[in-house]
Structure 1
Amino acid sequence: MPTIDVNGVQLFYELHGTGDTPLVFVHGSWASHNTWDLVVPSLAESFQVLVYDRRGHSQSQRLTAQGSVREDVADLAALIENLGLAPAWVAGNSFGASITLRMASERPELLRGLIAHEPPLFSLLADDPAMAPMLKEVEQKFGAVSERIASGDHAGAAEQFVETVALGPNTWAQLPSDFQQTLIGNAPTFLDEVNDPEQLAFNLAWIKGFSPPSLLTTGDQSPPTFPPVVAQLASVLPNVESIVLPGAGHLPHATHPDAYVEAIRTFVRKNSR
């Protein structure tokens, strides 16, 4: 198993393809590098694709101290640098998209461009009274899942998160058993993320100067909290394109892999001339 020591933690990673253009994927909460399995083979035909397990997830090391999104950003930057992939296209899903956007603000020289699907940066909506009931509901759902993890019911917490937050009712049973086990195994790291006071924080001023091309995606079947966040980000990024993936939800790479691959290929091709 290929691992690399960055920032005092062992991270598992895989490189696929021999293309000249690096493409790095950053998975969201609960998940692992395997979440990209349905899109990697196609993209590896034209890119050098890096997938990895973020700290605390699956085959990467889990530390006992309280973690921070800042560590995830530093890990991503170190991976890109240590593996000689800079500048790279970086694509993140959910909390992985939040990490990608934070790195874009701190280390823009490492990116050719970014692709972000539905980052949960709900702090951007805090000043909108119309969003208050929805954000309160999200907070309550996160709290209920966190309490369940803390009680030791990792399987119940994973199912509850999938059905009340991420994918919707009656979706847990539709997930492959190996993916269910990944979610259950990574439950403690989700609790760690929730306990990080910076988890959902973001300042739009951080990315106003990010000039490389940015693609922001949403699914038309996703929870309604995400489009307003993406709209806020799109309002300040200077070189941005936003698209909606028809029929897709919060995990388009898993449910609509062909459409997701085509969106990435089209965007990179358009911005590589």
Structure 2
Amino acid sequence: MRTGQLDLGQTRLAWTSAGSGDPVVLVHGSWDDHRSWDRVAGPLGERHTVIRYDRRGHTASTAPRGQGSILEDVDDLSAVVEHLAGGRAHLVGHSYGSSIVLLATAKRPEVVRSALVHEPPAFALLPTEDDDLRLTAARWMRQAAELLGFGDVEGGTRMFVEHVGFGEGSWLDLFDAEQRAAMMANAETWLDQYRDLDRLAVDPSSLAGLGVAVTVTTGERTLPVYRAVVREIADRLPEARVREIPGAGHAPQLSHPAAFVTAARDHLGVL
């Protein structure tokens, strides 16, 4: 395994690379870091060069002071592809990382071989009939942000995990002590991200006609709000393939890694 720091001037991104073959860049979601891919990186590395990195403000990567934006994350991803993947790569994203992958694909399709995204939190896409789902998620996020603002880092993090991200009981059942500690350490970055007005505004229709193969995965047991988002993405980007991960929820790379690897290999194998 190779490791390093990618210096982008205002920020440095910690990265790892292993395996051989066409490059695949894995983009983690909110709160966590590159280690969230530990259970799938090895199998994917049997056929591909797998590049992982901590997004700006997460764990071993730095971030400049002040309000950040998802567009900075998009630029970071493009830089990772250019500097570490030879200028073109398959992109795989989870949750907020999926939003970054979709925006990067729309902005820089020439550097994207393909895109596989799992349940991007593009809640702004939801139609009026799904207002209850959208407003409920927004309420829980607001309450999580308030707890963080009051200094209750564990309470705010746990509230997001169990009511927005992964379902009741997941704080203890899905994540181990090391993962919970990492999420709490990265809580300030999520709070900064929460204040970004562009964070939920992903338009999948902007990917239409770009010639980039897109697969959207969803968990069989995911929260209803993510199922609604995936349905909306499929309506707006009918050329995308939709794949359900049996038994999984919002984090199949953690809970059902073998099934997620199968879905990823199927996606990469049809290209």
Q: Same fold (TM over 0.5)?
A: yes
In structure 2, the partner of 1:248 is 248
In structure 2, the partner of 1:118 is 119
In structure 2, the partner of 1:145 is 144
User: Equivalent residues in 2 for 1:55-204 (5 A)?
Assistant: 55-125=56-126, 128-174=127-173, 175-204=175-204
SS at match of 1:152: coil
- Contact 1:209–1:237 (Cα < 8 Å) also in 2: no
Deviation string, structure 1 residues 97-153 (Cα, Å, up to 9, x no partner): 00000001000011110000000111111xx22111111111100000001111111
Q: TM-score normalized by structure 1?
A: 0.94
In structure 2, the partner of 1:5 is 7
1:171 Cα deviation from its structure 2 partner: 2.1
- Over aligned residues, Cα RMSD in angstroms? 1.3
- Contact 1:207–1:236 (Cα < 8 Å) also in 2: no
- Contact 1:211–1:237 (Cα < 8 Å) also in 2: no
Q: Which AA in structure 1 matches 2:18?
A: H
1:229 Cα deviation from its structure 2 partner: 1.7
- Contact 2:23–2:85 (Cα < 8 Å) also in 1: no
Q: Distance in 2 between matches of 1:85 and 1:191?
A: 33
Q: What is the aligned residue count?
A: 268
1:154 Cα deviation from its structure 2 partner: 1.1
- Contact 2:137–2:163 (Cα < 8 Å) also in 1: no
1:82 Cα deviation from its structure 2 partner: 1.2
Q: 1:15 aligns with which of 8, 14, 17?
A: 17
Q: Which AA in structure 2 matches 1:228?
A: A
In structure 2, the partner of 1:267 is 267
SS at match of 2:261: helix
Distance 1:11 1:164, change over 3 A: same
1:84 Cα deviation from its structure 2 partner: 3.7
TM superposition outliers: structure 1 runs of 4+ over 4 Å: none
Deviation string, structure 1 residues 144-184 (Cα, Å, up to 9, x no partner): 00011111111111111111121222221222110010110
Calculate percent identity across the aligned residue pairs. Answer: 35
Q: Distance in 2 between matches of 1:7 and 1:253?
A: 31
34-43 or 165-174, which moves further after superposition? 165-174
- Contact 2:94–2:120 (Cα < 8 Å) also in 1: yes
247-256 or 172-181, which moves further after superposition? 172-181
Deviation string, structure 1 residues 71-103 (Cα, Å, up to 9, x no partner): 000000011101243321100000000000000
- Contact 2:208–2:239 (Cα < 8 Å) also in 1: no
- Contact 2:116–2:267 (Cα < 8 Å) also in 1: no
Unpaired runs of 5+ residues, structure 2, are: none
SS at match of 2:224: coil
Q: Distance in 2 between matches of 1:203 and 1:114?
A: 15
SS at match of 2:92: strand
Distance 1:219 1:12, change over 3 A: same
Q: Which AA in structure 2 matches 1:140?
A: R
Whether 1:39 aligns to 2:40 is yes
Q: Which AA in structure 1 matches 2:53?
A: Y
- Contact 1:7–1:74 (Cα < 8 Å) also in 2: no
Q: Distance in 1 between matches of 2:134 and 2:15?
A: 34
User: Equivalent residues in 2 for 1:191-230 (5 A)?
Assistant: 191-230=191-230
Unpaired runs of 5+ residues, structure 1, are: none
Q: TM-score normalized by structure 2?
A: 0.95
SS at match of 1:113: strand
